[in-house]
Structures are given as C-alpha cells and as structure tokens.
Amino acid sequence: MLKRALISVYDKNGIVEFARELNKLGIEIISTGGTAILLKKYGIPVKTVSDVTKFPEILDGRVKTLHPMISGGILAVRNKKEHMEELKEHDIKPIDIVICNLYPFEEVTSKDNVDLDEALENIDVGGPNMIRAAAKNFENVVVIVDPSRYDQILQELKKNGDVSKETRADLAVEAFKRTAKYDWIIYDFLGKQKTLEKFPDVLNLTYKKIKDLRYGENPHQKAALYRDLTLNKKSLIDAEQITGKELSWNNFLDINTSLMLAKEFDDPTAVIVKHATPCGVACDSNIFNAYEKAYSADPVSAFGGIVSINRKVDLELAKSMSSAHFDCIIAPDFDEIGIKLLRQRRSLILLKTGPFSQVIENDMDIVKISGGLLVQEHDNAKLKDLKVVTKVKPTQEQLNSLIFAWKVVKYVRSNGIVLVKDKKTVGIGAGQTSRIDSAKIAIMKAKNEVRGSLMASDGFIPFRDVIDETAKAGIAAIIQPGGSINDEKIIDAVNEYKIPMVFTGLRCFRH
C-alpha cells in the first residue's frame, strides 16, 4: 500500500492533475517550496519538507531535502526489520513515491554567452540525491522523473492499488539514465570552461535519440538519428525539412558532406555530392551560374545526388534544378514559389538551414571498430603557408583556382585527384588504391575540358607516372602536400614540363 509521495519538480507540466489524483487515492503529499505553493493554490493538501524535517530551507533553497528524515524515508528497505525499527525510533515515515525532475541546467547552458554563476545555480544537488536513493530502493519506492509517465502510474494505481515490479524497475533505469546524463552535461560544460581534454581517459558520449531512420546503408539495416546533447549551436539536425520523403542514413552522410564542403566558400557556391563524394562543385559571382557550372561538371553522376546551395533558391534557380533528378536540395532558404515548383517531385527532399555560416562544423570524428572507437580531431585545418617549389610560378588566378581545388579535394575519398578550371570541377578521381588510377579517372571525367585545368592531390605524389600522365593531358598547375622521399624527382619532372607546382605542407586524406 502506497501511503506517501514526495514531489519536487522544476518542470510542473501535469503535476497539479497528478497530485490531485494521488490525493484522491489517499496518498499523503510532501513537497518543496515552489511546488508546494502551486499545489496549495489549487487546493491540494500538502505538507512541506520543512514540516517533515522540522528544519527550514536554507541558503536560498540550496539545502532543503538533504536530511535524514527525507533520505531515511526513501532508502529504508521495508522487509528489513532493523530498518523499520530505526525509522520508528527516529519518527521517520517511509516515502513510497518520489516525483522529481531537475533544474534546467541543459536549457540554461544552451544559451550563447551563458553566465557561469547562472549555470552553477542551476546545478541541482538535492534532486539527483533523491532520485538516486529512490532508484536504488526501487523495489520499495516508485521513482518518476518524466511527466509523461504520470498517466501510466495513475492507471496502475487505480487498477491494482500499487505499481508493478516491472514498471518500478523500468522507472529506476530511467532515473539512473537521467542522473547520468545530467552529470555528464555538467561535467562537459564545466570542463570546457577549463579547456576540457580532447581525449580523456574515459570517453562518455551523451546523445539523445531524435528518431528512427527509414533504414541504414541498406534496407535490411536498422538505423536511428541521435543529437549531441553537449552542443548548443545550430547543426544539420536542426534543418527544417520542407518537403520530401523521410531521410535515410545515406542521405544524412551525403548531406553532411555537401553542406560542410559548401561552408568552405564565401562566394556563391553549388556542391553536388553522390555517395559521400563530390561530383560537381563550382563558385561564381551569382548562384545560378554556380549551380549551372557545378551540374555541367558531371551530370551523369549528379543523377540522384545531393545539392547544397549556399544562397537562397529563387524561382529561376528552382526552374533549372527541377529539370534534374536529385534526392535532396539543401539551402539557407527557398522562395515560396520555388518551393511550389520543386515540390511537384514528391520524393524530392528540401532542407532549409538558415545561413550556412551559422551551422556548426564537425569538431571530432568518431568511428566504431571491433571492440572500440577511433576518435580524432576533424580536419578543419586551413591553408597557411603555400610553397611554390618549381621554376615556373603560378599566376594569381591559378593560385586562386588551386586553393579552390584544394578545398574540394579535402572532401574526396582518398586517393583523391581533383581537376578544376575557372573555379569549377571538371574531373574528380576518388577512392582508388593507386594515385595514378585516380588521376586517369579524373582526366577521363574531364573529357575536352582537361587541357588547361589545374590539379589538386590529397596526398603527396610518390612517382612521376602521375606527372607524366597529367602533363600529357594538358594540366596547367598542381597543388599537393609534398613530403615524399621522391619530392625532388617529382619537382624535376614538373620542371621538365614547365608546370607550376605548390606544396601545402598538409595532407587531407579522407577514408
């Protein structure tokens, strides 16, 4: 028989109705400050915690439930004679239900430029203590941390006069999950104030499930989307889906690649991605031309691809894009009339993000392997000191295009080779086990635009076969990391062809 409930909640949704029903069932209610005031306002009989402890709330409410009269009432094991005798000796009454949710630390610290003092005041101390005590003693105490559980508990109480063992156990797991997540978010926030280690000895990851996905990489694989609860900035997950089918695992991977690549550029830019690899990228003075150039780079591969546009999609651009077959278009915004036109293809996904500059970049890469995780810093390195290593120097125009090519090759599967002309990709060779094969594929893709194009390589060029092949095709300039034991031989080969070459000092493999 459940006789006594302790209620201490910050989130008061549904608590008045729940408490009223508990009262009708003859359950005595004990409550803390603000909650007690609310329940009394609605005529619900309430004992305050201070009535029970015979001690006032002190230190601005920091100390109220941390008392043996409360903790003893929660932790006592009912079928243990010694425990019950001790309760009787100290005039402690058992507490059978604990309803508690916590100060909004996550909500407060998600604000920009949050004040540290405000954050500290929103670290709940008494709440987690009560929740953990009740969850530890779940065979004797019902612990409720989620208002969505109120109806279920009332139904069981009204039907059976008690809460089942199975439900009690489920509620205890839910309670420990809540306090673990709460502590981790506090640790992460305070750690960042002191420059938290990037690679701590114990890695705790706190993610909340957003939804199930249609499927994983293949239809027979289940998949779900989770949000990083430590982030307080806008991300891809926050994009508004205007129209189209449900997003899949593959959609998210391709969208992320196209969005992150588009974020590399300030000029109007269009990026088309297929199977997590760019197949058409272009910059121009206006977004319509940028898209047209990107699409013309490889229209065959663009079929069924993902497009990121870093400017608003107007009617003119929507008309042009509607003639192609894409799975998804992602942009800061869309004209309403453009949306009306594009939504004629019911399966086409339209995602609106707001300005790309406000969408957070990846900071860490995490990959699951057998028995563990690989964790690394995301490759957000920027070019700093370019070194011209050949007798012939690139023109400023060539240098600008080489930098464009380098930004693209960062997102191409290694071994990656990118050919560009006038800030437009003309040929991309990706994911090959030898660099010469990637070069040949890029040249083949470029067709009649290869002559006069500029080349970026994501890793150093180890042998002159790549130089001979690209020089024969008419490549006009090269950017690569350098760092091979054969660098001098490669430089000599490039000098033979009078081709300018630049070393970045950075490798950008993408596996």
Active-site positions read 136, 275
What CA–CA distance (Å, rounded) separates 178 from 149?
14
What's the pLDDT score for residue 163?
87
Residue 372 is assigned to a structural domain of this protein = no
Residue 331 is assigned to a structural domain of this protein = yes
Residues 6+ positions from 174 with CB-CB distance below 8 Å: 145, 146, 149
**What CATH code is carried by the domain that includes residue 277?**
3.40.140.20
What's the pLDDT score for residue 117?
77
Angstrom CA distances, 26 to 1, 45, 100, 444, 507, stand at: 10, 11, 20, 81, 71
What CA–CA distance (Å, rounded) separates 375 from 457?
25
What's the pLDDT score for residue 341?
94
- What total number of domains does the chain contain? 3
Q: Along the 511 residues of the chain, how does pLDDT read in single tens digits?
A: 788 899 988 888 889 998 898 898 888 988 887 888 899 998 999 888 777 777 766 676 666 666 777 878 888 888 888 888 888 888 888 889 999 988 777 777 766 677 777 778 777 777 888 898 899 998 899 999 999 999 898 988 888 888 889 999 999 999 998 888 888 878 777 776 665 567 777 777 778 899 999 899 999 999 999 988 777 778 999 999 999 999 999 999 999 999 999 999 999 999 999 999 999 999 999 999 999 999 999 999 999 999 999 999 999 999 999 999 999 999 999 999 999 999 998 889 999 999 999 998 888 889 999 999 999 988 988 898 899 999 999 999 999 999 999 999 999 999 999 999 999 999 999 999 999 999 999 999 999 999 999 999 999 999 999 999 999 999 999 999 999 999 999 999 999 999 999 999 999 999 8
Per the CB < 8 A criterion, the answer to whether 61 and 97 are in contact is: no
What CA–CA distance (Å, rounded) separates 455 from 208?
42
Residue 126 is assigned to a structural domain of this protein = yes
What's the pLDDT score for residue 64?
64
276 in the same domain as 180: no
232 in the same domain as 146: no
pTM attached to this predicted model: 0.75
Angstrom CA distances, 262 to 21, 259, 329, 330, 356, stand at: 55, 5, 12, 10, 8
What's the pLDDT score for residue 58?
67
179 in the same domain as 253: no
CA 282, 286, 291: angle at the middle one, nearest 5? 40
Give the range of the structural domain holding residue 124, as residue numbers without chain letter. 4-193
Q: Where among 149, 167, 193 does a domain terminate?
A: 193
146 in the same domain as 8: yes
Cross-strand partners of 330: 308, 351
Q: What is the SS3 assignment for 338-391?
A: HHHHHCCCCCCEEEECCCHHHCCCCCEEEEEECCEEEEEECCCCCCCCCEECCC
What CA–CA distance (Å, rounded) separates 453 from 425?
9
What's the pLDDT score for residue 483?
94
Residue 130 is assigned to a structural domain of this protein = yes
What's the pLDDT score for residue 404?
97
**What CATH code is carried by the domain that includes residue 96?**
3.40.50.1380
What's the pLDDT score for residue 106?
73
For the chain, the straight-line distance linking the first and the last C-alpha, in angstroms and rounded, comes to: 60
Per the CB < 8 A criterion, the answer to whether 36 and 11 are in contact is: no
Residue 365 is assigned to a structural domain of this protein = no
Q: Give the gyration radius of the chain's Cα atoms.
A: 31
Provide the b/e sequence for 135-172 (b: ≥16 CB within 10 Å). Answer: bbbbebbbbbbebebbeebbebbeeeeebeeebbeebb
